[in-house]
Amino acid sequence: MSMFQYDFMIRALIGALVIGLSAPALGIYLVQRRMSLIGDGIGHVALTGVGVGLLLDRSPVLTAVIVSTIGAVAIELLRERGRTSGDQALALLFYGGIAGGVMLVGLSDNRSNANLMAYLFGSLTTTSRNDLIVIVVLGAAVLAAMLLLRPALFAICHDEEYARVSGLPVRTLNVLIAVTAAVTVTIAMRTVGLLLVSALMVVPVAAAQQVTRGFRGTMALAMGLGVLSAGLGVWLAGEADTAAGATIVVLAIAGFVAIAAGAGLWRLVRRRVQAIPHTVDVEPPDVVLER
């Protein structure tokens, strides 16, 4: 009997595939800017949004999107104006977000630990139809923005000063990255949870960088690895009765280890082959005797 005969498993698979595709598409820009941990910070702020939703009896996904977007934009503006350093900004996100979230969840009627754990570590099989619609629509928007604006986003991630001199709207693009990061984190909290969402943004990109050189190739391979990890993770979680989010992340990390080991072995073999001296028989030139 197939597990995908149940509607909740089909919703889980679709949601996981959408996140597996869109998260690496955004994550490659975060990795390029050396902001791999920003997803963790936004995830903590999103927990405050979850608390607001539970307290007001509204959709936690939508309130988390709003709150995390405001937090991400505020931190980006603070970083740009130089009023606080990057690590201090992340500290504000980490500590303030999770403290506010835990407090608001405690004040709400749904104060059980099960509700809190579902958002912290994911509860993919409990994704409702409305949750799936939000995930698909917002995930498609993030993916479209990352693909259509790839040249401009790559420019500001590679050299922000050069992009500014070239006339690109650097502030707008930076805010766009912050907003899409917030959206991706919040829609992925149902898949892998707020505490594990950065893994889907970073690990597939890190794995793809082991075997590719160009930005476009790395992005395409990272998206493929993200979809593969998400799909296999949902299937394996259903078969082994494990947490879907944790299973997806474990598979993504296992894929990174396998690719890194294979790439390292291939480079070692190539160096050994190149080090072997090659003897080539060359005929001596004709000797011309002068009179």
pLDDT at residue number 120: 73
Nearest Cα neighbor of 38 from 80, 113, 81, 93 is 93
Q: For residue range 76-100, what is the model confidence (pLDDT) as tens digits?
A: 777 666 655 556 666 776 777 778 8
In the structure, what pLDDT confidence band is assigned to residue 286 with cuts at 50, 70 and 90?
low
- Look up residue 286 and give its DSSP letter: P
Q: For residue range 196-252, what is the model confidence (pLDDT) as tens digits?
A: 788 888 999 999 998 888 888 999 999 999 999 988 988 888 888 888 888 888 999
For 43-52, 174-183, 253-262, which range has the lowest pLDDT when averaged over its residues? 43-52
pLDDT over 80 at 264, yes or no: yes
What is the rounded average pLDDT of the residues 154-167?
Answer: 84
pLDDT over 70 at 283, yes or no: no
In the structure, what pLDDT confidence band is assigned to residue 1 with cuts at 50, 70 and 90?
very low
| Lookup: tokens for 137 | 């629509």
- Mean pLDDT over each residue of the chain, to the nearest integer: 80
Q: What angle do CA 256, 182, 217 make, to 5 degrees?
A: 40
pLDDT at residue number 127: 74
Cβ-based burial of 42 (10 A; exposed 0-12, middle 13-18, buried ≥19) = buried
Structural domains of the chain, with CATH: 7-274 (1.10.3470.10)
- Indicate yes or no: pTM above 0.85: no
Q: For residue range 272-281, what is the model confidence (pLDDT) as tens digits?
A: 787 777 655 5
In the structure, what pLDDT confidence band is assigned to residue 4 with cuts at 50, 70 and 90?
low
What is the rounded average pLDDT of the residues 115-119?
Answer: 69
What is the rounded average pLDDT of the residues 255-284?
Answer: 78
Q: What are phi and psi of 193, to 5 degrees?
A: 95, 155
| Lookup: tokens for 42 | 């936004």
* CA quadruple 130, 131, 136, 142: dihedral, nearest 10: 130
pLDDT over 90 at 61, yes or no: no
pLDDT at residue number 115: 63
Distance CA 133, CA 15 (A): 9
